[in-house]
Amino acid sequence: MAAAASPVLLGLRDSEMRSSFEQPRDGAWAVNKIGGLPDSMPTVPAPQPCCGRCGAAMAHVVQVYCPLEGSPFHRLLHVFACIHSACVGQPCSWKVFRSQFLQRQEDCVQDAKLIQKEENNFAVKDWCEGAEDWGDNNESDLEPWINVAEDTEYHAQKLLREYGQREGVEVELLMAQSFILDNREKYEKAVIKNNDKIFYKFMKRISACREQILRYSWNGKPLFITCPADATEIPYCSNCGSSRVFEFQLMPTLVSLLKITHLDISVEFGTILIYTCEKSCWPANHQSPMEEFCVIQEDPDQMLFK
């Protein structure tokens, strides 16, 4: 399996889809979504984890369908969180599970139809196609899709630098400050008091696309909001012993999205970093989700009040 990093893809909120609470949907496991019930793959049941701290059932946060290029496996990741206030921010209050199943030769015809139907969600390399709009519907029996777009930050920053040179102004600084003031004034206090260069870099980077709720780059580099986690703190795969690599992260915009009426999931975080087995190992005939590893980075402003 190639170890090359995938490009950075941004997950955005898309249109709503009918909930899976009453009837299962064929091929629903091939859809990226927020909340709702986790979908099961044909040979692997959906995970139903409990919080490692309080033992309560955890809320399903996101489902990400992410097969790896060159791999014969369908591949699905589920992220869960404990919503009890005493558990928020604790390492054991977030969990991620990886499910896979082998695509057999006789499934090719059916899979081809599914690819046509779910073409915007079916493969990592195709995520960025058709990612233009997302809806806003608050009906109780609906749950969002997640749509995907390429990270255009580099192109945007180039244009801004050219404009700044012409006008003699620091456009990037003004843009970051505008984002901070427009969305959360408390962030400005965090920057001033902590002089946090990592946080400033985080805010400047995401200002090119404020609506992003997820950043995906298998074997890529995460965008840290506070001091980076020590690489030695990322445990090896519990199944094969291989190193884990960064795969995707959840972004601050998701916090408010999860609190809307039809999801009602209350969590707080700066960013959640997801690390998975670099070999994406899956033993023959294995039929249960494998737990991977989460790193929780708090909102710097939260730490000011502790």
Determine contact, residues 279/240, Cβ cutoff 8 Å: yes
Residue with the two structure tokens 């708090």: 298
Render each residue's pLDDT in the chain as its tens digit; 306 residues: 446 777 899 998 875 655 433 444 556 899 999 998 999 999 999 999 999 999 999 999 999 999 999 999 999 999 999 999 899 888 889 999 999 999 873 354 354 445 444 444 433 333 433 333 333 333 333 456 776 666 655 555 666 666 666 655 555 565 565 555 555 555 555 555 554 778 888 988 888 888 899 999 999 999 999 888 676 789 999 999 999 999 999 999 998 888 775 677 888 899 999 999 999 999 999 999 999 999 999 887 665 444
Kindly state the DSSP code that residue 30 receives in the 8-state scheme: G
**Does residue 20 fall inside a structural domain?**
yes
Give the model's pLDDT for residue 177: 55
CA angle 39, 293, 34 (to 5 degrees): 35
Range of the domain at 102: 9-151+209-303
Residue with the two structure tokens 């087995």: 277
Cβ within 8 Å of residue 140, ≥6 positions away? 261, 262
Gap between the Cα atoms of 113 and 251, Å rounded: 33
Gap between the Cα atoms of 151 and 206, Å rounded: 9
Give the model's pLDDT for residue 207: 85
**Does residue 177 fall inside a structural domain?**
no
* Residue 220, both tokens: 């890529």
* Residue 50, both tokens: 């409990």
Gap between the Cα atoms of 289 and 230, Å rounded: 26
**Does residue 158 fall inside a structural domain?**
no
Determine contact, residues 193/304, Cβ cutoff 8 Å: yes
Maximum separation of any 2 CA atoms in the chain, in Å: 63
**Does residue 73 fall inside a structural domain?**
yes
DSSP notation for 71-113:
-SEEEEEEEEE---GGGTT-GGGEEEEEEEEE--GGGHHHHHH
**Does residue 201 fall inside a structural domain?**
no
**Does residue 62 fall inside a structural domain?**
yes
Give the model's pLDDT for residue 215: 95
The model's pTM is: 0.73
Determine contact, residues 146/14, Cβ cutoff 8 Å: yes
**Does residue 198 fall inside a structural domain?**
no
Residue type, 290: M
**Does residue 289 fall inside a structural domain?**
yes
Domain count, the chain: 1
Gap between the Cα atoms of 106 and 267, Å rounded: 43
Residue type, 20: S
- Whole-number Cα distances in Å, 237 to 6, 163, 246, 260, 292: 20, 47, 13, 35, 7
* Residue 269, both tokens: 């975080």
DSSP notation for 34-69:
ESSPPPPBTTBPPP--B-TTT-PBPEEEEEEE-PPT
